[in-house]
Amino acid sequence: MKPLETMISRRVFLTNSSKVTLAVSLAGTGVLSAYAGEATGKEIGFRTRFTQTPLAFDFDALEPNIDAMTMEIHYTKHAAGYAKNLGEAVSEEQVDANKPLEDVLSKIGSYSTKMRNNAGGHYNHELFWKVMSPTGKGKPEGDLAAAIDSSFGSYDAFVTEFETAAKTRFGSGWAWLVVGDDKKLAVGSTANQDNPLMDISEFKGIPLLGLDVWEHAYYLNYQNKRPDYVSAFWNLVDWNYVAQRFATASL
Ligand code: MN
């Protein structure tokens, strides 16, 4: 079966069984279970697999904030490419793919550029698909809301800081909300497909929220208007999922 046909079949499947698929994807992605980092024994994040997780929603489900064609190309071409090339790098560099991808990221400086670009690209997109939801929107609540107030002054101040990070990242990259070793939240950005789990990253922490600001993420609909795409992102953020990540990372 050609890839496009596979995707069409999968979309029909998703439409027919979205609730089941959502339940399976939540149970299968380690959303609810942290893992202990091998080196430190410390809870450092979530077990991300080396292959693509099915989207929990249809390609058109995020419209009008992100259009269906952008989502389809982004997931089936760009993100799929990172996963495929990661698979090659894993094979070439004898990585144990039974271990979490996070382990590789934490020592990415000792691997190839191919591993760095594609391990980062795969991890970042796997996270990106999960922090967005057709029923997102809203604002953080509970402990996460309190941590945002404590770290940034207010939710609005956090939004301004995050948007600035997203808008001022020159060229391609990502904007992040992370929690650091000190349990404080921080906002920053990374270039290309780097991320804050990488040993070589200047900006470090456990990612809670990530926004793709590569042009492929928005150009079909927003063209050069990255700030409009960044503003629209707030209509999609699944704060319940972000709060789960925060709770797990804070254990
Ligand atoms: Mn992307």
12 in the Ramachandran plot: left (φ > 0), alpha (ψ -120 to 50) or beta? alpha
CA 70 to centroid of ligand 1, rounded, Å: 10
CA 174 to centroid of ligand 1, rounded, Å: 9
pLDDT per position as a tens digit, 92-111: 999 999 889 999 999 999 99
More confident residue, 192 or 36: 192
Classify residue 34 as exposed, middle or buried by CB count within 10 Å of its CB (0-12, 13-18, 19+). Answer: buried
pLDDT per position as a tens digit, 159-189: 999 999 999 999 999 999 999 988 899 999 9
Helix (H) or strand (E) holding 208: strand 206-212
Please state, in angstroms and as integers, the Cα–Cα distance from residue 154 to each residue in 130, 145, 149, 157, 183, following that order: 24, 9, 4, 5, 17
CA 225 to centroid of ligand 1, rounded, Å: 16
Other residues' Cβ atoms within 10 Å of the Cβ of residue 27: 11
Task: Provide the angle, in degrees to the nearest 10, between the axes of the packed helices 226-233 and 155-168.
Answer: 150
pLDDT mean over 58-79: 98
Give the predicted TM-score (pTM) of the model: 0.83
Indicate if the pLDDT at residue 9 is higher than 70: no
CA 16 to centroid of ligand 1, rounded, Å: 27
Give the range with max mean pLDDT: 7-11, 65-69, 134-138: 65-69
13 in the Ramachandran plot: left (φ > 0), alpha (ψ -120 to 50) or beta? alpha
pLDDT above 90: percentage of residues in the chain: 76
CA 77 to centroid of ligand 1, rounded, Å: 10
Task: Look up residue 251 and give its amino acid.
Answer: L
CA 125 to centroid of ligand 1, rounded, Å: 6
Dihedral sign, CA of 180, 184, 185, 190?
Answer: negative
Cis peptide before 54 (omega within 30 of 0): no
CA 40 to centroid of ligand 1, rounded, Å: 31
Q: Which residue has the tokens 């402990």?
A: 143
CA 176 to centroid of ligand 1, rounded, Å: 14
CA 218 to centroid of ligand 1, rounded, Å: 9
CA 140 to centroid of ligand 1, rounded, Å: 25
DSSP 144-167: HHHHHHHHHSSHHHHHHHHHHHHH
CA 141 to centroid of ligand 1, rounded, Å: 28
CA 217 to centroid of ligand 1, rounded, Å: 5
CA 194 to centroid of ligand 1, rounded, Å: 12
CA 146 to centroid of ligand 1, rounded, Å: 30
Q: Where are the domains of the chain?
A: 142-249
Place domain 142-249 in its CATH homologous superfamily. Answer: Iron/manganese superoxide dismutase, C-terminal domain (3.55.40.20)
Helix (H) or strand (E) holding 219: helix 219-222
Is residue 141 classed as helix, strand or coil in its secondary structure? coil
